[in-house]
Amino acid sequence: MKNDGVKIIKTTTWSPGPGCHGGCGILVHVKDDKVIKVEGDPDHPWNQGRLCSRCLSMTQYMYHKDRLTKPLKRVGERGQGKFEQISWDEAFDLIEKKMKQIRQDHGPESMIFHQGTGRDIGGWISMLAYAYGSPNWMFGLSGISCYTPRLMMMSITQGDFAVVDASQWHEKRYDDPVYEIPETVTIWGQNLPATCPDGFFGHWYVDLMKRGTQLMVIDPRCTWIASRAKLWLQLRPGTDAALALGFIHVMIKENLVNMAFIEKWTNAPFLVRTDTPEPILLRETDLAANGKSTNFVAHDPVSNEFIIWDSDDQTYSKKNITPSMDVAFTIPLTDGTRVPVKTVWRMYKENAEEYTPEKVSHITWVPKDKIIQGARMYAKSSPSALHWGLPIDTIPSTIPTSQAVNHLWCLSGNLDNPGGNAIARYAYDVVTYPYHSGGSILSLPPEVAEKRIGINDYGPIKDFRAWAQPDKVLEQIFTKKPYEIKGMWIQTANPLACTGMEPQKWHKAIKQLDFTVCVDLFMTPTAMLCDVILPAATFLEKDSLKAWWVPLQAIKKVVEVDECKSDIEINLELSKRFMADFPYDNTHDLFDSLLKSAGITYQELCDNTWMIPPKGHPSRPYYRHEKGLLRADGKPGFRTPSGKIELFSSWLEKWCLAPMPYHEEPPYSPVSTPDLFKDYPLILTTGRRMGPFFHSEHRQIPWLRAQQKEPVLEIHPDTAQKYGIEHGQKVCVENWLGKITVKALVTPVIHPDIVMAEHGWWFPEKEGAEPSLFGVWDVNVNQLIPMGHEGKGGLGSPIKTMLCKVYKAKG
Amino acid sequence: MSEYAMLIDYEYCSGCKTCEIACNQEYKREAGKLGGVEVQEFIHFLQSGRLYITNIPHFTKACVFCAGRVKKGLKPACVQHCMANVLTFDTLENLKDKIPENRKALLWTKG
């Protein structure tokens, strides 16, 4: 406490408030139980004193006149905007009664627990869903197209997630002697300074540039960071897999791959049967009746014998061998028949052989020379790091696309090395948000878990992440098959303005349910439709913790604002009401239990505010595959079925998906729908980040809104001229699904054949009641993007690869 | 205070406009009214035909070089929070050694 009555408290950012994925250390200035200022903490290694616009606007956010501060109950028709204030007791009683009735009459699975982008919610909303007994915890974005596809692909390819090592595991950051500045960072589809990447701080790349890192940027737009790159590749949206395969082609052809790493750590030497309709990995069971189907087969060139890779022992059946890499044979099976086999590596090379720079240039629009130059720049740099963004998820072919890009750091050996792509685990293995199935606070009995929507449709949905598949959920709300959906709990989500594609359908779906609850901080188009609205606390009004990925951090309740409660408190109170033997009495009990793997209590974490795992801890790099720190059995290798990086994926094979990467055209494109392209001759892409706003949030914050008043469409000057459009004019963006009217931003940063529309817009200052719903229908670009086009594994959707026409708006 | 100046290493300014909001918070400014700093964006085609984007934080009439903060030993609000660390506030004498050698920069003096 200083003598001016101002207390300064150290804490950590995480949504709600700035909206982002958090991690910044801050100093909160409090006077008379009110936050008067928020500053960056200069002693925090993550942001080193810096802080973004949204966090610096926290005082305007917390004390905004339109902030929801009391529970509300709908009294008019749905969407009419008539609510009355009720007490928390009344709200909890009402929700308990209604949801227990639904559970009793229709089963717990008929209630959907709907979240938005993954921030400080996954742990607590899954807890509530499971305490209630529903397996239908869902993120509503079509094809779960936000990081989940990339996480899934990394998980099955290399057993763990990886992110660029920008020295975030070191307290001294760039100056730590063990750290190496990347020679090159490849930024694939992200405008880093304007964004808040998952578990990352965008401006770390500016820090690295100043320290000598050169950049390659792959983006249809020339962002500021693209304009500063040594090489900028302007690709056609949705062709990322082809470009990555083009890189792989050049790397193999020019011998720029790390063969020692590939031979030792990947499944490249394993043999694949080619007699089957689709190639499949040869198993020990194919050669010996008593063999194991989890063991694989390779070839020893010295003895010319076939050898077994034992996935449990993590050894070949013969010691000190260097397996053959580039061979093909016929091999006798147990029944005596001989079948053709070849190594994964030969098959991989043949697959990449197709993607010549000429062919890739034709697909991607990137000039051939630049493809070759890019491949060389990535592969010849050491260390070389690759940062990828959302466009890798927002295409139906996200699985082969994520796989192809992931392979770049596997083929070049830039995995868990200083300044490369480091394996990212939850700090101290503390899981507050399960990014794959398992790790959640409660679990469900198998007979309930089996009712999760989408589980029987898609392998990755079944085996990787515990979410229901959102496209299938929406479909089921209307078809009512195999069971009826009766209610929805919506928390940290605004599907009408943001996460919902074809939001008209979500609007209809939500309105027809028997009971809906929305937990939010402001009234939104989605909240307008709900029966009960609960006012949530910002991160400065709640206790929580964060371990994504590093450091392990405390979020501390600094003040209270009216009757707002944290998402965690709300969900814990209801969990107790829904589950008789719910194991936690209060949030601190719950946090202490989550912190067991760190060996500390929540109070101790608060005393430290942030903690970086010590050297040698499995949640801290480097080279953990060599040290036996990744696998549960302590053996060197990776957490995959074979223990190798699976360039030929046994998981994809199991799910009947192509086991190696390939290019697939977006469902709507000049190539796949040329007739449609005649009527809608521009590629519509969306989702680029806006500095002052996080997705659909912050439009009511005066300082932030002053930086951008209304949504824009980026259009190239040549294209604008062609259609008689001038800068600043209102234009209609239209396709066969819908139409919006926004302002033209005529700029050369966008490709002439592509337009970029902003997402997440609505107008808090406009009429909230139907039909207006805060003007969302005038500007929400998601009306031009379909639901139900998820990719083959239930992941990915064509959010950034649609078609449209643009014309001057009347009047 | 007249000996203090602001060095702007603008080649690394990403255009995030955090400085504008840091200033608004520090002085509780009304939204939409002139703040102490405004970032200007320039989109140029270089002689080679390459697109090049430059952002320049422009210090306005409203900037007071955060005299109150500086007196307390703090950095000006915009300097501390600049996401790209492109602002350096110091005495003219000290700034002489901090001028980057291999790129253009701006020196803003109070006069």
The predicted model gives A141-167 an average pLDDT of: 97
* SS3 label, residue B43: strand
pLDDT reading at A1 higher than 70: no
pLDDT reading at B110 higher than 90: no
Contacts of A727 in chain B (CB under 8 A): none
**Owner of token pair 């009347």:** A810
- Looking at residue A811, its pLDDT comes to 72
Strand order in the sheet with A34-40: A6-12, A25-31, A34-40
Q: Are A330 and A339 in contact (CB under 8 A)?
A: yes
Minimum-distance CB partner of B84 among A39, A206, A748: A206
- Whether residue A37 and residue B25 make contact (CB cut-off 8 A), yes or no, is yes
CA A621 remoteness from chain centre: 22
- Whether residue A707 and residue B17 make contact (CB cut-off 8 A), yes or no, is yes
- Whether residue B80 and residue A59 make contact (CB cut-off 8 A), yes or no, is no
- Whether residue B14 and residue A224 make contact (CB cut-off 8 A), yes or no, is yes
**Interface residue ranges in chain A relative to chain B, Cβ cutoff 8 Å:** 37-40, 42, 49-53, 56-57, 59, 193-194, 202-203, 206-207, 209-210, 222-225, 227-228, 691-692, 702-707, 747-749
Side-chain-side CA neighbours of residue B6 (13 Å):
28
Which chain B residue has the Cα nearest residue A195?
A: B16
Tokens of A776: 């969302």
Minimum-distance CB partner of A206 among B12, B21, B45: B12
Q: What is the pLDDT of residues A747-790, one digit of tens each?
A: 999 999 999 999 999 999 999 999 999 999 999 999 999 999 99
Q: Confirm or reject contact between B24 and chain A (CB < 8 A).
A: yes
Running DSSP on this structure, what letter comes out for residue A415? B
- Whether residue B21 and residue A703 make contact (CB cut-off 8 A), yes or no, is yes
- Whether residue B82 and residue A207 make contact (CB cut-off 8 A), yes or no, is no
Minimum-distance CB partner of A53 among B16, B26, B45: B16
Contacts of B20 in chain A (CB under 8 A): 53, 703, 707
Query: What is the rounded CA–CA span in Å between residue A453 and residue A112?
Result: 10
Q: What is the pLDDT of residues B44-90, one digit of tens each?
A: 999 999 999 999 999 999 999 999 999 999 999 999 999 999 999 99
Amino acid at A582: F
**Owner of token pair 């960071």:** A225
Paired sense of beta strands A802-808 and A730-734, if any: antiparallel
What confidence tier does A273 reach under pLDDT thresholds 50, 70, 90? very high
Contacts of A747 in chain B (CB under 8 A): 43
Q: What is the pLDDT of residues A486-522, one digit of tens each?
A: 999 999 999 999 999 999 999 999 999 999 999 999 9
Minimum-distance CB partner of A40 among B51, B53, B81: B81
DSSP notation for B9-28 = -GGG-----HHHHHHHHHTT
Which chain A residue has the Cα nearest residue B39?
A: A707
Q: What is the pLDDT of residues A241-267, one digit of tens each?
A: 999 999 999 999 999 999 999 999 999
- Looking at residue A2, its pLDDT comes to 58
Amino acid at A62: M
- Whether residue B15 and residue A52 make contact (CB cut-off 8 A), yes or no, is no
Q: Nearest-CA distance from B72 to chain A in Å?
A: 13
Q: Confirm or reject contact between B53 and chain A (CB < 8 A).
A: yes
Task: Return the domain boundaries, chain A.
Answer: 86-146+428-538+564-581, 154-258+355-426, 261-349+628-654, 674-808
How many domains would you assign to chain B? 1
How many pairs of residues across A and B have Cβ atoms under 8 Å apart?
A: 99
- Looking at residue A347, its pLDDT comes to 98
CA B103 remoteness from chain centre: 16
- Whether residue A748 and residue B14 make contact (CB cut-off 8 A), yes or no, is no
- Whether residue A50 and residue B32 make contact (CB cut-off 8 A), yes or no, is no
Which bin fits A361, alpha (ψ -120 to 50), beta or left (φ > 0)? Answer: alpha
- Whether residue A705 and residue B31 make contact (CB cut-off 8 A), yes or no, is yes
How many residues in total does chain B contain?
111
- From A420, A395, A391, A394, select the one nearest A219 (Cα to Cα): A391
Side-chain-side CA neighbours of residue A742 (13 Å):
30
- From A379, A415, A384, select the one nearest A181 (Cα to Cα): A384
- Whether residue A193 and residue B14 make contact (CB cut-off 8 A), yes or no, is yes
- Whether residue B16 and residue A193 make contact (CB cut-off 8 A), yes or no, is yes
What confidence tier does B1 reach under pLDDT thresholds 50, 70, 90? very low
ipTM for the assembly = 0.98
More confident residue, A464 or A436: A464
What confidence tier does A196 reach under pLDDT thresholds 50, 70, 90? confident
- Whether residue B83 and residue A37 make contact (CB cut-off 8 A), yes or no, is no
- Looking at residue A725, its pLDDT comes to 98
What confidence tier does A195 reach under pLDDT thresholds 50, 70, 90? confident
Minimum-distance CB partner of A747 among B26, B31, B43: B43
Q: Compute CA distances A480 → A112, A335, A486, A513, whole Å.
A: 13, 49, 10, 11
Contacts of B16 in chain A (CB under 8 A): 52-53, 193-194, 203, 691
Q: Which residues contact A293 (CB under 8 A, 6 or more apart)?
A: A283, A284, A285
- Looking at residue A173, its pLDDT comes to 98
End-to-end CA distance of chain B: 9
Report phi then psi at A99, rounded to 5. Answer: -75, -35
- Whether residue A225 and residue B14 make contact (CB cut-off 8 A), yes or no, is yes
Which chain B residue has the Cα nearest residue A53?
A: B18
Tokens of A385: 């790091």
- Looking at residue A540, its pLDDT comes to 98
Task: Look up the CATH number of the domain holding residue B12.
Answer: 3.30.70.20
In this prediction, what percent of chain B has a pLDDT beyond 90? Answer: 95
- Whether residue B18 and residue A52 make contact (CB cut-off 8 A), yes or no, is yes
Q: Compute CA distances A280 → A155, A711, A808, whole Å.
A: 20, 49, 54
- Whether residue B85 and residue A50 make contact (CB cut-off 8 A), yes or no, is yes
Query: What is the rounded CA–CA span in Å between residue A638 and residue A262?
Result: 13
Q: Are A241 and A401 in contact (CB under 8 A)?
A: yes
What confidence tier does B104 reach under pLDDT thresholds 50, 70, 90? very high
Residues 80-99 of B with CB under 8 A from A: 80-85
What confidence tier does A126 reach under pLDDT thresholds 50, 70, 90? very high
DSSP strand E in A621-738: where?
682-686, 712-715, 730-734
Which chain A residue has the Cα nearest residue B30?
A: A703
Which chain B residue has the Cα nearest residue A210?
A: B12
Q: Which one of 3.30.565.60, 2.40.40.20, 3.40.50.620, 1.10.8.60 gives the CATH number of domain A674-808? A: 2.40.40.20
- Whether residue A38 and residue B25 make contact (CB cut-off 8 A), yes or no, is yes
Which chain A residue has the Cα nearest residue B33?
A: A706
Query: What is the rounded CA–CA span in Å between residue B65 and residue B75?
Result: 9
Domain encompassing residue B77: 4-109
- From B84, B99, B72, select the one nearest B6 (Cα to Cα): B99
DSSP notation for A410-423 = HHTT-BSSTTSEEE
CATH class of A86-146+428-538+564-581: alpha beta
In this prediction, what percent of chain A has a pLDDT beyond 90? Answer: 96
What confidence tier does A193 reach under pLDDT thresholds 50, 70, 90? confident
Which of B11, B17, B18, B85 has the highest number of chain A CBs within 10 A, making it the mutation to test binding with A? B18
Q: Compute CA distances A420 → A154, A182, A183, A371, A416, whole Å.
A: 15, 7, 9, 21, 7
pLDDT reading at B111 higher than 70: no
The domain made up of A154-258+355-426 has a fold known as Dimethylsulfoxide Reductase; domain 2 (3.40.228)
- Whether residue A748 and residue B83 make contact (CB cut-off 8 A), yes or no, is no
- Looking at residue B2, its pLDDT comes to 56
Question: Which residues are A487's β-sheet partners?
Answer: A111, A515
**Owner of token pair 């897999």:** A241
The predicted model gives A715-740 an average pLDDT of: 98
Contacts of A50 in chain B (CB under 8 A): 18, 80-83, 85
Contacts of A225 in chain B (CB under 8 A): 14
Query: What is the rounded CA–CA span in Å between residue A105 and residue A485?
Result: 12
